[in-house]
Structure 1
Amino acid sequence: MTTAGPSSGDPRRPSAARRIAAAVALIALLAAVGGVVLGTLRNVGVLVLDVVLVVLAVQAGWIALVSRGARRVVAAALAVAALAAAVILLVVSLDAATTLRIVLVVLFAAISVAAARVALRPDAVRPSTGGRVGPARRGVLLMNPRSGGGKVGRFDLEAEAGRRGIRAVVLGPGDDLRELAEAAVAAGADVLGMAGGDGSQALVADVARRHGLAHVCVPAGTRNHLALDLGLDRNDVVAALDAYGEALEGRIDLARIGDRVFVNNASLGVYATIVQSDAYRDGKLATTTQMLPDLLGPDATRSDLRFERPDGRTRSSADMILVSNGEYTLETIGGFGSRPRLDTGRLGVVTVAVDRARDLSALMAAEATGRIRRFHGYAAWTTTEFVVDSSEPLLDVGVDGEALRLAPPLRFQTLPGALRVRTPLGAPGVSPAASAPGRLGTAVPALWGVLVGRARA
């Protein structure tokens, strides 16, 4: 039996365009690495001293962040001085040849990453289940005019919906969003959508799930993590309305904490306590800086959060717990990353534990360099159910960005394939985590496989 070549139409084999992109990515990567090696050999002493100064600046910066009074002032001054010294040393050591080499390395690296994104992205990105569906007959879109700093009004979504034959329901002061969604279903809606933040998306998605209706996500909130991982263009809010026309429909998972459904994540510990502050929404960075000394400083008390690890052992404490609807690809603990898929039927669990005496600088370094997974107090796994218990009567919990206080034990469960979701035919259709080249150790072999025309398993 002969094996068909790449031109035989095997849909698993990469296209010619992807193979060319893989070749460009690998060649540009070799050029960038060559430039770095050459520059390192010529400037070993400067490079080592610069690294020491940057590490010192990071450690001092973290001490300043979790301290108060004179200790914070001294640490902040040391961080600034070390960083300034590193920059000055780098500038002084530059000559015309070195500057050109740096520019070329950055250019080749950018070309390699861009080409890798093209090469490693599937030729056709479509939901793993479901397919193309016809227009909604009685589509309803609920809108929160206060979400995202007023995106509903800024993009004139009510009028845009009307032009597409979609009935708009605008949430007013004192209105109950769930009651409005239930009323829309009772009036005959066959597709139910939400223009608002992720907390509102979860509530309306739960109503759609209970009645077996398809859901449309319109990214009119602040972060719009669900829209991001559905592969929508978060900057083109109006384009999301096209999901009420001919669209792609598939099934995604939902997650539940007790009887409350969420679409993204629920957090406990440091982050959950910070978002409870009334000042957080108006000044996230200032509020975080003010509260961190009490939460991660030398005298801070760790929350009583008890849970079972994958090996069956019970852990009695953690500084942060993140339970997500699907597994996130995390590089830092501040951004919550992106999910490659929303249909795995698994919860993602991440825990971070910090020893105040030894680990603060290591945590800061890992966070600053996007290597949080290498921090020894970091653990991550997937499961279908996760329970957090505590001796405290109420726990601070952030659920899809909403600040809650819930009584333990907290039981998290996955709801596999629970929600029918529609996305526009013209949407990108892939999350950043799914389209990213990935780590170098896995990206290079994958690029080589695309280059030689290897079929996907």
Structure 2
Amino acid sequence: LDLSRVAVILVLIALSAATARIALRRRARTATVTRPAPRPARPVLLMNPKSGGGKVERFGLVDECRRRGIEAVPLRPGEDLRELAEEAVARGADAIGMAGGDGSHAVVAEVAARHGIPYVVVPAGTRNHLALDLGLNRDDVVGALDAFTDGTERRIDLATVNGRVFVNNASLGLYAHVVQTPQYRDAKLRTAADTMPHFLGPDAVPPDLRFTGPDGTEYSTAQLILVSNGPYLLDRLEGLGTRVRMDSGLLGVVTLTVRDASEAVRFTTLQATGQIRRFPGWRQWTAERFEVRSGGPLAVGVDGEAVTFEPPVVFAAMPGALRLRVPRHAVGVSPAGRAVHLLSRSTVAALVAVCLGRAPDGTGRKP
């Protein structure tokens, strides 16, 4: 391989990367329809002072709201968040937001969707996964308030599990139990993957989680079932991944079945190297509706909160249910929408083959 051919390969790779980034930006921007949003007359922001280790106080959100003409409503001990949201709407709120974690966002977003008023996400929680997938800057808590005063509007989906709204995901099996552990807030699904082998000992009983796969096949168990409000781009469970868009009108469904400890080791290895889709017990598809059956009550982790439902547990998409306001300065594209696997082994190999005068399919024939 002489230097001229090396140069050609590098140029081709660089051009591939550049054009892919441009195309992806254009696709991400055109995939979501936004429009200018007039400033609301009576905006209201509910806030949980305890979320995110006290971000409401740390960023002075009450004073920042006052300067912008936004009514600030802190959640006090013993108060019900849903009732506060309903009361704000009853007082005439024509735009409502929440400064808190994703579980709180789900509650207030449901109220906003039901009344048809715009909703604002202020990332004042711990992880703020919803804000991440909406393309908001999670570090700019105060800047998120600009959605009220200088924002654009678009429609996004919500999802439900047995009638309860969620904005990110709901899980059954191992993860639903991990939600209740102290390590959950810091590690989330990584904790589930690390804990998996402990649930596969000789005395372990397979979870009674019955469901139908995308091809109509009936399954009687799974160690993990993850249903998301829009499909995730997943290479590994650690960090969960992000959604390219949240207006497809579809749920993302992931099921993981591990039969023994040796498979658990294999799965852990694949997920650590970003190759979980190669695991034979991994299934991922999209659906408008998904149902899980069982012989008894099921623990479900809903946007990070532990809930118990009587079966069947039914998930459903709510296409375009929420009017979302975001700041005009927000990127508006999730990390999944910005990321491309530009230098995959197959792509580089094909480029090298072409530069060597061989067919990219390995036949040795020149193209």
Q: What TM-score do the two structures reach when normalised by structure 2?
A: 0.85
Deviations 1:113-145 (A, max 9, x none): 689545632288367234011112110000001
Q: 1:254 aligns with which of 116, 141, 158?
A: 158
Contact 2:197 2:265 in 1 (8 A): no
Aligned pair 1:398/2:301, yes or no?
Answer: yes
Q: 1:308 aligns with which of 212, 218, 237?
A: 212
Report the secondary structure of 1:310's partner residue: coil
| Uncovered stretches (5+) of structure 1, i.e. residues with no partner | 1-26, 34-107, 449-457
Contact 1:340 1:434 in 2 (8 A): yes
1:167 Cα offset (Å): 0.4
Contact 1:276 1:404 in 2 (8 A): no
> Which amino acid counterpart does residue 304 of structure 2 have in structure 1?
G
1:288 Cα offset (Å): 6.0
Question: Partner residue of 1:135?
Answer: 39
Tell me which stretches of 4 or more aligned residues in structure 1 moved more than 3 Å.
27-33, 111-120, 280-294, 296-299, 438-445
Deviations 1:275-301 (A, max 9, x none): 123x34577589769954532345422
Question: Partner residue of 2:249?
Answer: 345
> Which amino acid counterpart does residue 396 of structure 1 have in structure 2?
A
Question: Partner residue of 1:120?
Answer: 24
Question: Partner residue of 2:359?
Answer: none
Aligned pair 1:421/2:324, yes or no?
Answer: yes
> Which amino acid counterpart does residue 237 of structure 1 have in structure 2?
V
Which has a greater percent of strand?
Answer: 2
Contact 1:29 1:112 in 2 (8 A): no
Change in 2 beyond 3 A, CA 1:339/1:288: closer
Indicate the percent of aligned positions where both proteins have the same amino acid: 54
Q: 1:174 aligns with which of 70, 78, 90?
A: 78
> Which amino acid counterpart does residue 419 of structure 1 have in structure 2?
L
Question: Partner residue of 2:333?
Answer: 430
Q: 1:235, 1:282 → 2: CA distance?
A: 18
1:404 Cα offset (Å): 1.2
Report the secondary structure of 1:355's partner residue: coil
Please list, as runs of the form range in 1=range in 2, the aligned pairs for 1:232-381 lying within 5 A after superposition: 232-277=136-181, 279-281=182-184, 292-381=196-285
Of structures 1 and 2, the larger Rg is shown by 1
Report the secondary structure of 1:268's partner residue: strand
Contact 1:437 1:443 in 2 (8 A): no
> Which amino acid counterpart does residue 62 of structure 2 have in structure 1?
E
Q: 1:419, 1:177 → 2: CA distance?
A: 18
Change in 2 beyond 3 A, CA 1:113/1:147: farther
When the two chains are superposed, the root-mean-square deviation of aligned CA atoms in Å is 3.0
Change in 2 beyond 3 A, CA 1:348/1:185: same
Report the secondary structure of 1:365's partner residue: helix
Question: Partner residue of 1:192?
Answer: 96
Change in 2 beyond 3 A, CA 1:340/1:162: same
Contact 2:29 2:333 in 1 (8 A): yes
Deviations 1:242-279 (A, max 9, x none): 000121101001000111000110011111111123x3
Q: 2:31, 2:327 → 1: CA distance?
A: 12
Question: Partner residue of 2:311?
Answer: 408
Report the secondary structure of 2:77's partner residue: coil
Matched positions, count: 343
Q: 1:124, 1:317 → 2: CA distance?
A: 37
> Which amino acid counterpart does residue 417 of structure 1 have in structure 2?
G
Contact 1:219 1:227 in 2 (8 A): yes
Deviations 1:59-111 (A, max 9, x none): xxxxxxxxxxxxxxxxxxxxxxxxxxxxxxxxxxxxxxxxxxxxxxxxx99x9
Question: Partner residue of 1:98?
Answer: none
Change in 2 beyond 3 A, CA 1:28/1:416: farther
Q: 2:320, 2:155 → 1: CA distance?
A: 5
Q: What TM-score do the two structures reach when normalised by structure 1?
A: 0.69
Change in 2 beyond 3 A, CA 1:428/1:326: same
1:341 Cα offset (Å): 0.7
> Which amino acid counterpart does residue 129 of structure 2 have in structure 1?
H
Change in 2 beyond 3 A, CA 1:290/1:422: closer
Aligned pair 1:207/2:111, yes or no?
Answer: yes
Contact 1:318 1:353 in 2 (8 A): yes
Report the secondary structure of 1:429's partner residue: coil
| Uncovered stretches (5+) of structure 2, i.e. residues with no partner | 1-5, 352-367
Question: Partner residue of 2:360?
Answer: none
Contact 1:293 1:300 in 2 (8 A): no
Question: Partner residue of 2:362?
Answer: none
> Which amino acid counterpart does residue 362 of structure 1 have in structure 2?
R
Change in 2 beyond 3 A, CA 1:287/1:341: closer
> Which amino acid counterpart does residue 363 of structure 1 have in structure 2?
F
> Which amino acid counterpart does residue 131 of structure 2 have in structure 1?
A
Deviations 1:393-437 (A, max 9, x none): 221111011111221110100000000000010001100111112
Question: Partner residue of 1:52?
Answer: none
1:311 Cα offset (Å): 1.2
> Which amino acid counterpart does residue 330 of structure 2 have in structure 1?
A
